Amino acid sequence: MQKVEVNFKNCYGIKKLNKEFCFTVEHNVNVIYAKNGLMKTSFAKIFKKFQDGKESDIEDLIFNNTPTIKEIKINDNIIDKEEIFVINSFEKSYESNSISSLLIDNVLKEQLEEVLNLKLNILKKLEKKSGLKISKTSLGKIVFELEPKIIDDFSFQEKSFLRNLDTFILPEEINYFSNIKYMDIFDDSVLSKKIKSTEFQDKIDDYLTKSNEIYDNYSFLDKGNFTLPKLKEIQKKLKGNKFFVRNNKILLNGSQDISSIAELNTKITEIENELQDSLEFKAIEKLLSDVKGMALKDTIEKYPEIIEELTLNNLEEFRKKLWFSYLKEDEENFNNLKIQYALLKEQIDALDIDDTPWKEAIDIFNARFNLPFKMNIDNLTSSIIGENLPKIIFSFCDRKNHDECEDADWVKLNRDELENKDTLSQGEKRALYLLNIIFDIEKRKKENQKTLFIIDDIADSFDYKNKYAIIEYLNDISKEDNFYMIILSHNFDFYRTISSRLNLPFRENRFCAIKIDDEIKIEKEHYQNQPFLNWKNNLTDKKKIIALIPFIRNLIEYGVDKKINTFQTIDEDYSLLTNLLHFKDYTNTINFMQLKIIYKEYIGKDNFNSSINDTDKIYDLIISIADTDILANDINLENKIILALAIRLKAEEFMINRINDSVWVNTITKSQTRKLFKRFINDFPTEINNKVILESVNIMTPENIHLNSFMYEPLLDMDIIELKNLYSDVKNL
């Protein structure tokens, strides 16, 4: 996989996004930092629809904007859904469907495929015979119909066709039931409204009385033993075996000679006609003369002997007779399925679960995460043969050392019981979700499945230990030849850490998402984790000179204040820089000579832009840049810092002038903005609009100005448009 191209328009809130991601053998990971609400969830959701084969569902859900464009290409070819795996931040009820494949090796897998193919072939024949579908779509969902009906008819405790094979004892001979369609009898509308009706059951009683009379007229028949259907079976066998040659005959009740197939057919037809010409039979036919009853009527006309099976006492047993009859016709394949399944079951029973890829996945998880339970699989056979999701049993022991726990000490719960008791912390629930994700990933690894992983804030809400555990695992799978990743995060610390731990190259695989007008742009990260180093080495840029002020003030605060500035009334270097972060008596008089002295001492550089004079006022440049030199699409960090500084300074200047109490203002030594704000709203309670704007200053600027190497994420998250709008509001106070 060399490149992935995405082209989205009007997709789940993304109005436009067009990007090509490049991958190499050495670097098969791309990381995107995107603030919350910008594009991450929509981006992952689009890919998930492709993974599920439901890309036609993708649309603009809120505004219904069109046209909708959704294109994902790998190396210029449309991506296959099997090549996508989306990992969301958290899905509470997520259960892996990959566990079964992790429990078996290739030999067992081949045996399983053979058994499942044999089963499918038999079910297809049952489908044709019965009129029931193996599966069908109902209300947009796939519903399995045939197998559950068989299980229900036989009242099996094990909800499995395969695991009940030994229960099916086939009749010695094929009978006419095999040609009767199950749904012609047991369709709900026919069964409830026709067969089970009192009127129909009364007519059956009348007919059975009449048929007994007719049987009595044919002394070679014996109701319940040698019946007309059995005579028909004999007729078929005699015809098939060419019996009527060389004067061979059959003798019925010692007196009636039958010397040809024609004579036997005539005798059978005679009996059938007498049964069907009876008033009682015609009364049953009349009850079935509407649309719903026609199929049953046709069946009864062809096989009148089934009427006795339709009595209430016989109906449930008749269901089984039909299934047995169908299977009898395919007896050779059915017996082969029995044999192959028995061999498979023997292999499954001998399986050592601790020697499987499933256990390897558990070990991978346990090596990184700590959970208060151990796990095992309860329904091993049904999960391997794919009839149920593996049922993981969680075992708890309250001893500190689990190695000391006896069997009786363990309390066992399945997943539903565990969820219902609500004993797991949110972190443990998230870890359990990750375990299921690991199962799916390990399956893809085992099958060498080429996969593009879309990973949306997978470490969100985890503590640092677990965040690093996740990063370690992502680092491990990034080394797989067929695995490629696009990792999205709104957490800049996680973004920065994973970029470092996965050794992503400078600028080529690390991106920030921004919004320009209505388009999402995925741009190369500007600073590559080290904005301060970038600014320090580029002091010819006026913006970067200003942006360093909060950082250097922090250096002084955390280190030693050398007091090397030459400003007459301010001794401490920390205080001088504080005068540039808050509006004080000397804020608009401090010049760049003082800044050069401090920068040279603390970062060893003072090569400022040549257009800056030593006597130029720093405050004036901050305001000038904020007024005219920051564009709406210029989202670099230094622009946001300058706007935050300008907002703070202008807001404080406004409040100080309005309060007009210099003695009180000069007593403020910390939290100046907030204290000015409290005094302002106390002195001017009716200025609601001003209060709202100044409150926004308090909310949006503190973390952005008191900046250090660990805490510039709040400012990165903030939209520069928000800052520009607030600055405009503050200027208009």
**Is 181:129 a contact under the CB 8 Å cutoff?**
yes
What letter does residue 719 receive in the DSSP assignment?
Answer: -
**pLDDT for position 98:** 83
Cα gap 156→376, rounded to integer Å? 26
- Mean pLDDT over 306-331 rounds to 92
- 463 pLDDT above the threshold of 50: yes
**Is 280:214 a contact under the CB 8 Å cutoff?**
no
Output phi, psi for 642, to 5 deg.
-65, -40
Is the model more confident about 706 or about 610?
A: 610
Angle between helices 357-366 and 426-446 (to 10 degrees): 140
- Mean pLDDT over 52-73 rounds to 93
Is the model more confident about 287 or about 223?
A: 287
- Mean pLDDT over 32-47 rounds to 92
Q: Per mean pLDDT, which range of 417-426, 598-607, 689-698 is the poorest? A: 417-426
- 126 pLDDT above the threshold of 70: yes
Closest CA to 643 of 575, 696, 576: 696
Q: Per mean pLDDT, which range of 114-123, 237-246, 696-705 is the poorest? A: 696-705
**pLDDT for position 469:** 87
Task: Give CA torsion, residues 259, 265, 271, 273, to 10 deg.
Answer: -150
**pLDDT for position 365:** 84
What's the token pair of residue 517? 């007008």
With cut-offs at 50, 70 and 90, classify the pLDDT of residue 129: very high
519 beta partners: 516
**pLDDT for position 630:** 93
Q: Per mean pLDDT, which range of 56-70, 205-219, 386-400 is the poorest? A: 386-400
With cut-offs at 50, 70 and 90, classify the pLDDT of residue 109: confident
**pLDDT for position 313:** 93
Q: Is the peptide bond before 67 cis (omega within 30 degrees of 0)?
A: yes
Cα gap 130→152, rounded to integer Å? 15
Taking CB atoms within 8 Å and a gap of at least 24, the contacts of 716-721 are 716/33, 716/35, 716/492, 716/512, 716/637, 716/640, 717/35, 717/36, 717/490, 717/492, 718/35, 718/640, 719/35, 719/515, 720/630, 720/632, 720/634, 720/635, 720/639, 720/640, 720/643, 721/632
**pLDDT for position 607:** 94
Closest CA to 290 of 178, 200, 198: 200
Torsion sign (Cα): 375, 381, 382, 386: positive
Give the burial string for 315-345 (b: 16+ CB within 10 Å, else e): eeebbebbbbbbbbebeeebeebeebbeebb
First to last CA, the chain: 56
Cα gap 602→598, rounded to integer Å? 6
Give the burial string for 569-588 (b: 16+ CB within 10 Å, else e): ebeebbbbbbbbbbbbebbb
- 90 pLDDT above the threshold of 80: yes
- 709 pLDDT above the threshold of 50: no
Averaged confidence pLDDT in the chain: 88
- 506 pLDDT above the threshold of 50: yes
Is the model more confident about 91 or about 484?
A: 484
Q: What percent of the chain has pLDDT over 70?
A: 96
Q: What percent of the chain has pLDDT over 90?
A: 49
pLDDT in tens, 4-13: 999 999 999 9
**pLDDT for position 429:** 82
With cut-offs at 50, 70 and 90, classify the pLDDT of residue 713: low
Q: Which residue has the tokens 């808050």?
A: 582
Cα gap 619→429, rounded to integer Å? 52
**pLDDT for position 353:** 82
**Is 288:282 a contact under the CB 8 Å cutoff?**
no
With cut-offs at 50, 70 and 90, classify the pLDDT of residue 227: confident
Is the model more confident about 341 or about 366?
A: 341
**pLDDT for position 21:** 95
Give the domains, in start order, of the chain with CATH numbers. Answer: 3-101+352-524 (3.40.50.300), 197-311 (no CATH), 531-731 (no CATH)
With cut-offs at 50, 70 and 90, classify the pLDDT of residue 705: low
- 420 pLDDT above the threshold of 90: no
What's the token pair of residue 163? 């695991």
Cα gap 76→455, rounded to integer Å? 22
**pLDDT for position 710:** 46
Is the model more confident about 618 or about 297?
A: 618
**pLDDT for position 527:** 63
Give the burial string for 396-427 (b: 16+ CB within 10 Å, else e): bbeeeeeeeeeeeebeebebeebeeeeebeeb
With cut-offs at 50, 70 and 90, classify the pLDDT of residue 320: very high
Is the model more confident about 496 or about 687?
A: 687
- Mean pLDDT over 484-505 rounds to 87
Sheet architecture: strand order including 483-489: 77-78, 69-74, 3-11, 14-22, 519-524, 510-516, 29-33, 483-489, 451-456, 84-87
- 372 pLDDT above the threshold of 80: no
Averaging pLDDT over each range in 166-170, 319-323, 399-403, 510-514, which range is the top one? 319-323
What letter does residue 401 receive in the DSSP assignment?
Answer: S
Closest CA to 382 of 424, 415, 345: 345
Cα gap 104→66, rounded to integer Å? 48
What letter does residue 32 receive in the DSSP assignment?
Answer: E
pLDDT in tens, 261-302: 998 999 889 888 888 888 888 888 888 888 778 888 888 888
**pLDDT for position 388:** 64
Sheet architecture: strand order including 411-414: 374-377, 392-396, 411-414
Q: Per mean pLDDT, which range of 129-143, 649-663, 713-727 is the poorest? A: 713-727
Q: Per mean pLDDT, which range of 133-137, 142-146, 200-204, 705-709 is the poorest? A: 705-709
Cα gap 707→715, rounded to integer Å? 9
**Is 68:60 a contact under the CB 8 Å cutoff?**
yes
Output phi, psi for 411, to 5 deg.
-100, 125
**Is 698:662 a contact under the CB 8 Å cutoff?**
no
